[in-house]
Each structure stands twice: as structure tokens, then as C-alpha cells.
Amino acid sequence: MKVLFATSECVPFYKKGGLGDVSHSLPVALSHLGVSTTIALPYFEKVKVKRGDLICLGPLAIDYAGKRELVFVFLTHIPKTTVSVLLFRHPRLSSYDESTFLFFCLCVSAWYRLSALTGNGFDIVHCNDWHMALIPLLLGEQDKTLKKQVKTLQSTAVKTVLTIHNLLYQGVVRASTIRNMGLPMSIFEKIPSPEGGVINLFREGLEHADVVSTVSPSYAKEILTPEFGPHIYDALRKRHDPVVGILNGIDTDVWNPKTDEYLPKNYTKKSVTEGKAVNKERLQKAVGLPVSDDLLFGFVGRIEPRQKGVDLIIKAVRQLPKKSFQVVLLGTGNIKQMKELEHLDGQCTHISYIETFDERLARRIYAGSDVLLVPSKFEPCGLTQMIAMRYGTIPLVRRTGGLADSVEDGETGFVFDDYHVEDLCKIMWKAITLREDDPKKWQAMVTRVMQEDFSWKRSAREYLEVYKKLAPPRRS
């Protein structure tokens, strides 16, 4: 089974959020099941890769905006694995916007076609989020043209999977932007708008992909409603097959308190109490919090007011009694909300906000906090709650999407239902008092979360089943 995995981010080359983690760890897990996965990623300026680890495969011709452009394709690997990564270099692939990804979709489709022509074809093209959502349509169009021209290619007709990681971002472009791709406008669904008609890239993908999947069973149901799937839910409902919900995993080698190089002290299930105590003290010192045994809440995430629930955290910490807890928050994003966090940090000695993207500090927060806050309005899957559990930190989450599917209230975390500050306060207070009043029960919870298995083993198998149904193994 050969899969071309198209994505806009992939650890360790480029990461903005959880998609970067998944685009690394899922292909690695699939390789352990014998699936040969090749990742396709734009070679952004910020992509980190050593020159010595790159092989230039040569130029690829792409027709765009009436011109023929040459894109250079480089080959590297996910470090310490056999998973290949193709990096596509071109000035049009330098910024993170819609036209970049449209151009990139053309690159991936051209690569697929070239591979098929040279006998190295892929069985599946797995596309991720709106960035790659035009690929199923493009491949379908190419297929139609090619079938007319080259008969032998008929047997290699590609199958596509489109995975929804987040429907908040759908990639809406003007029709004029699409025109540059040289495709007949009649194949796109034009959505009326004040600008005179736009194309929703995600919607196009959902209408053309062979399988649509998403990153948790709960989100698979939620997105069939207008609230979670605006502009999209009807297209999903119209599909003849249901959206497949497969819970993400985490790479348990990458996220491991026993070996994590960034931690002041490594620890295991056995040494978690001492290990976390040292990490907590060092974290408090590093982020300017008083060294104290108060419950330390952590938050690591994008500052996205429409999703991550930071507004609730800001309100809740103002309402709770000051002397009972501390909070450390790490994240960047929305400017207004970052200013509110800075203001809060300036006013309260028990709150610390660090406005940056910092892998090292993120890991120190997972290890040093007692509880990780994930009060999201919606959360397709969420990885931070799983990482927290791996580090013996108890997650406090809202019951939505993948958070609902991965945390059990009272057993492996604290779960609240309604998106209201009172509800968040109540559950934060519950955590504070439980830790003070019943240390044994608290410790049992820490042990339990560390025993949870969020490795990719099961979920990677589920993806393999999806692939096999679409493209049954070829007979040699």
C-alpha cells in the first residue's frame, strides 16, 4: 500500500499546531503497519531541514496563471524513520495563504501523475484540511483527461481521503483566484457573496473525496450540525457514506517524560511525584511565579478566541480565590486576546502569560503543571490533553469533540459541559479542593492518566482499514 500524504505542516520541519504533530506521527505509525507513506509539504522559508539531509529530485512543471512554472522537488526523511518527505520549493510557496495552497494542490496532483506514469504510482492520496482540499477535484479532472489520452492509466485511478482537522478554517477564495489554475469554472460550486461569488475549498473537497474522515468520533457527529459545520454540514449530510471519525494519537516516543531532553528532571510512572515536584519548581522560577505548592494550572495552545476558551480562563481566574492556585499560559495568536492576557499577567502575581511559540517551554508546562486546562468551545480532537496525561498532568476539559472522547470525568480528568464561566470556576475549584482534601485520590488519578494509551497503534489500523476498503491490495 502506497500513500501520498499531503499536508501544510509536519514536525520537525514546520509546525503551527496539532496538524504538524499528526502529519509526523500518523505516517510513522502507518510505516510500522507496512504502509509506505510519502509526505508532501510546501518548502516554506521557515521549514527547518539540514542541507545535507536533502536530495534534489529535479524540477516539476506546473501550469499556472497562463505560464509554465518550474517547482523544485527535494527529498528528505522524517529523522530516524524510513518515511519520505517531499518538499516543494517555489516563490509561490512562500506565504501561508489560499493562493499558496491552490498552487501546492497543483504540485501534488502533478507529482501523483508523474509517479503513475513512471510506474511508482500511489494507491491513495490522503489530503489534510482545506489547504489540500482541492486535490481530489484536481485528480478527478486529470483522470478524466488522461483516461481519454492514455488507456493504460485507467487501472491506476486514484482514491482520495480528505481528513477534516478543523472546520473553523475553510479556505474561501474569489472565483478570480481559481481562474489562475486554468480549470473550467463550471466544475466549481460558486457560492453567492457580496464580492460576487466565492469558492469554498473545503466544500469542494468534501464533494469530491472518496472518503471524508475527521479526527474524533464526536466531532464526526458534531459537524453534521450548522453550529459546528457552518457552510459545510449540508454537503456532509448529502454524502452517501458517513464521515469516519478516528481519534488522533500521539507519538509516545516524541512525548515521553522519561526521555524528554527539555525537562529539568526526567521521570516515569514510578518517580512521577518527585519528578513533577522538581519540574514544577523549575517552571515556577522560569516563568516568574512564586515557588509554592498551590495547584498549578497550565495552558498550551493557539490564542484563538473562536475555539480555545481563553476568554473563559481569563474570567474564571478573576473570580476564584487568589491564594489557592496559579496559572501559566503559553500561546500566540489573536492580538486582542493576547493583550488581555498580558494585562492579566501584569495585574496578578499568581498568573504568568508567555506570548511565544516555544517547544521547550510547552514541554516544561506539560511536566510541571498539576492540571492542564482545555476549556475549548469546540475541539476536533485536541492533543494537549493527551500529552498532559502522558506527563502525569490531569486534564480539565470541556465535553466536546475529541476532548469528550479522550477524558473521563472523575477518572482521567475533570470534564464540564456548558461553555459558561461559572461552570469552569466550579470544576477548577473541584480540582483545587480534591488535591488538598484527598491527596490519595489525586495520586490515583495521576497514576491512571499515565496508564492511558494514546499511542497511534489502534487509530493507525483504522486508517489502514479505510485505505484497504478504497484500494484493495493489488494482486501481483
Binding stretches for ligand GLC (CB under 6 A): 17-19, 22, 165-166, 215, 248, 379-383, 402
Nearest residue to the partner ligand GLC, using Cβ: 18
Nearest residue (CB) to ligand ADP, 55 versus 262: 262
For residue 21, state whether it binds ligand ADP (rule: CB under 6 A).
Answer: yes
In the complex with ligand GLC, the residue whose CB is nearer, 215 or 341, is: 215
**Three-class secondary structure of residue 157 per DSSP:** coil
CA proximity to 350, closest of 328, 335, 377, 374: 328
Q: Which residue has the cell 513512471?
A: 118
Burial class (CB in 10 A: 0-12, 13-18, 19+), 441: exposed
Which string of DSSP letters, residue by residue, matches 350-377?
Answer: TEEEE-S--HHHHHHHHHH-SEEEE--S
CB of 21 to ligand ADP, least distance (A): 5
Q: Which of 39, 41, 47, 362 binds ligand ADP (CB under 6 A)?
A: 362
CB of 454 to ligand GLC, least distance (A): 12
Tell me if 167 contacts ligand ADP by CB under 6 A: no
Which of 22, 287 has the CB closer to ligand GLC? 22
Output the CA angle 301-306-309, nearest 5 degrees.
55
CB nearer to ligand ADP: give 141 or 358.
358
- The answer to the question of residue 421 lying near ligand ADP (CB under 6 A) is no
Alpha carbon distances (Å) from 130 to 60, 172, 314, 381: 23, 9, 31, 17
How many Cβ atoms are within 10 Å of 172's Cβ, its own excluded?
18
Residue with cell 481530489: 136
State which residue, 351 or 365, has the beta carbon closest to ligand GLC.
Answer: 365
Total chain residues near ligand ADP (CB under 6 A) = 18
Residues whose CB is less than 8 angstroms from the CB of residue 206 and which lie 6 or more positions away in sequence, other chains included: 133, 162, 164, 212, 232, 235, 236, 239
Q: Rule CB under 6 A: say whether 358 interacts with ligand ADP.
A: yes
Residue with cell 527529498: 75
Amino acid at 280: K
Residue 215's binding partner, choosing from ligand GLC, ligand ADP, none, with beta-carbon cut-off 5 to 8 A by kind?
ligand GLC
Among 302, 318, 430, 468, binds ligand ADP (CB under 6 A): 302
Q: Which of 12, 17, 264, 305 binds ligand ADP (CB under 6 A)?
A: 17
Partner interacting with residue 362 (select from ligand ADP, ligand GLC, none; CB below 5-8 Å by kind): ligand ADP
Contact call for residues 130 and 171 (beta carbons, < 8 A): yes
Q: Decide whether 106 or 386 has the Cβ nearer to ligand GLC.
A: 386
Stretch that binds ligand ADP, among 132-140, 154-162, 205-213, 299-307 (CB under 6 A): 299-307
Residue among 42 and 249 whose Cβ is closer to ligand GLC? 249
